Chains A and B, each alone.
Chain A
Amino acid sequence: MKSFVIPAAVVGITVAGLLTGPAQADMASGAVLANTCFSCHGTDGKSVGDMPTIAGKKESFIAKKLKGFKMGSEDSTVMKRIAKGFTDAEIAAIAKFFAKN
């Protein structure tokens, strides 16, 4: 099995540095952030029900969508409530995780 633990520090420095300034050393790992999405969007983002599939989508698309939900420019039922709980750095880590797995 492919290892899917993304070192938190790497994601934190590279992504958070670009988007929100200083890296957050205590940010959750990309795996922990993304794994919780699986509960609705399916394991590795492969949905088996009515929720959209995330697997196979581009990193930039996932990040743009999540930020759109967060800012309210993307229409949704529940995602606007959920996306508001994530920093831009966390959104970037989630997008990276799905794009790489």
Chain B
Amino acid sequence: MSRFTRRTFNRSLGATVALGALALPGSAPFAAGTKAQVVVVGGGFGGATAAKYIKRFDPSISVTLVEPSTHFITCPFSNTVIGGLNTIDYITQNYDALKKMGVEVVHDLVAHIDGAKKQVKLTRGGTIAFDRCVVSPGIDFRWEKIEGLDASTAGTIPHAWKAGPQTLLLRKQLEAMPNGGTFIISPPVNPFRCPPGPGERISLVASYFKKAKPKSKIVVLDPKKKFSKQGLFKEGWAKLYPGMINYHNVDNDGVVRRVDPKTMTLHTDFGKYKGDVVNFIPSQRAGKIAQVSGLTDNTEWCPIDQQTFESRLVPGVHVIGDSSIASPMPKSGFAASTQAKVCAEAVVNLLKGRMPGTPKFVNTCYSLVDENYGISVAMVYGYEGGKIIKIKGSGGLSPSGADANFHQKEANYARGWYESISNDIWG
């Protein structure tokens, strides 16, 4: 069915669907001949997985994925592009496979999700009706929390925390930097997307410097006390990049108060740090569509029922991935994808008038300290007393003091993970 026909059709049906939902509140099963409609907002790790797995669970459900871009550039493995190990092509995915399995992909930006009318409004005009909506909008930046920076300064001081042109910009700046230059990186406060991401970025920039401009230095200004996989990263840095990385945490003047993009200077409580290349990663909140559609609470993230990922604020709309409050799960691509599979099963069960099942999740975050030096953290999550819980005794970090063979294996598995998960979602 063409996009135009579908939208026109939905517009005329919208009132009927809304009435139906009123008459049979909650998990009303669909009568024979009536096709349940799901709209998925966002085509990243969460959204694309949800669209695919709803179709896998029940091909009779009509699934429309709304995503502005025709190609999706993944944050996972974008540090390998910044470090010069891969080109951007390696991390560029598309929606051909989803279309082939019957997902209707609409390249537009959702302007608003109306939970009462059960429809999404598109920026270029028109609406799409849904019986259930799954939203996976990633993150938005809290620019207001840092003096001197906003979206317009990202062309000078990239965040590179949404992959794409920002990834390439940071790579270009590092390539242009002279040998002996200073790279400053400032990670955000918790919670934020990909907790081990800054550590991996520091590592792969250090790896590039070691090969291409060995006199260069890296200064880290981190407003936190500690960071993900800290012990494993520091062990790797001492072995591979001795003396190159100067790490300031909250107790050592790591909090940046103001940034001057003109002079490339970061001002802290006690000093100022001038860089040749500066990567400031702002503090974060739920993606914009979640904010404007009433899905966020005063934490600026989205409260959800942790069994079904249905919003606690807007019934019929499910929020997965970085935007959702799924703690103790981290905000990672792996977590978003495993949440999407649980949510997909719940959505299908609810549309069929069945009880949603019990969730179970896994998250494994691999990081590269160097091309052939991988580390990982893993955790298995269950569901108890209405909450996602860590399964006691499971998970944890790679062992400290492991040999080169172990780290080589974990680097190979990091690539194996990326190739399998991206193929599972977009392939």
Contact = CB atoms under 8 A, between A and B. Distances in A.
Our verdict on whether A and B bind, yes or no, reads yes
B357 to A, nearest CB: 5
A42 interface: yes
Given A8-B357, A47-B420, A78-B378, A36 B413 contact: no
B380 interface: yes
B189 to A, nearest CB: 28
Contacts of B297: none
Contacts, number: 121
A65 B401 CA distance: 26
Contacts of A32: 341-342, 345, 357-360
B412 interface: yes
B379 to A, nearest CB: 8
B59 A51 contact: no
Contacts of A37: 362
A61 interface: no
B182 interface: no
Given A1-B56, A32-B359, A40 B413 contact: yes
B426 to A, nearest CB: 11
Contacts of A35: 53, 338, 341
Contact of A39 (B338, B379, B393): B338
A33 interface: yes
A32 B378 CA distance: 18
Contacts of B382: 85
Contacts of B341: 32, 35-36
B421 interface: yes
A84 B393 contact: yes
Contact of B417 (A4, A8, A28, A51): A51
A81 B396 contact: yes
Given A32-B360, A40-B416, A50-B413, A84 B380 contact: yes
Contact of A81 (B359, B378, B413): B378
B394 A82 contact: yes
Contacts of A41: 420
Contact of B360 (A47, A51, A90): A90
Interface string B350-368: 0000000111111010000
B395 interface: yes
Interface in A8-39: 8, 26-29, 31-33, 35-39
Interface in B368-414: 376, 378-382, 391, 393-396, 398, 406, 409-410, 412-413
Contacts of B418: 49
B378, B391, B396 interface centre (most CB from chain A within 10 Å): B378
A36 B380 CA distance: 10
A73 interface: no
A48 interface: yes
Indicate the member of A1, A27, A39 with the most B CB atoms within 10 Å. Answer: A39
A85 B380 contact: yes
Contacts of B359: 28, 32
B334 A43 contact: no
B391 A85 contact: yes
A49 B415 contact: yes
A26 to B, nearest CB: 5
B419 interface: yes
Given A29-B357, A39-B362, A84-B380, A51 B56 contact: no
Contacts of A28: 357-360
B424 interface: yes
Contact of B380 (A5, A43, A48, A82): A82
B362 A77 contact: no
Contact of B358 (A4, A8, A85): A8
A49 B366 CA distance: 14
B423 interface: yes
A36 B421 contact: no
A78 B364 contact: yes
A38 B424 contact: yes
A40 B361 contact: no
A74 B378 CA distance: 18
A50 B391 contact: no
B427 A39 contact: no
Task: Tell me which of A38, A43, A77 has the highest count of chain B C-beta atoms within 10 A of its own C-beta.
Answer: A77
A77 B380 contact: no
A77 B410 contact: yes
Interface of A: 1, 4-5, 8, 26-29, 31-33, 35-43, 47-51, 77-78, 81-82, 84-86, 90
30 contacts: A1-B56, A5-B57, A5-B345, A29-B357, A32-B358, A36-B362, A37-B362, A38-B421, A39-B334, A39-B362, A39-B421, A39-B424, A40-B421, A42-B423, A43-B424, A43-B427, A48-B427, A51-B413, A77-B409, A77-B410, A78-B364, A78-B410, A82-B362, A82-B364, A82-B395, A84-B391, A85-B391, A85-B393, A85-B394, A86-B394
Given A4-B56, A85-B391, 17 more contacts: A1-B59, A27-B358, A28-B359, A32-B359, A32-B360, A36-B338, A40-B416, A42-B420, A47-B420, A49-B418, A50-B413, A50-B415, A84-B380, A85-B362, A85-B394, A85-B395, A86-B391
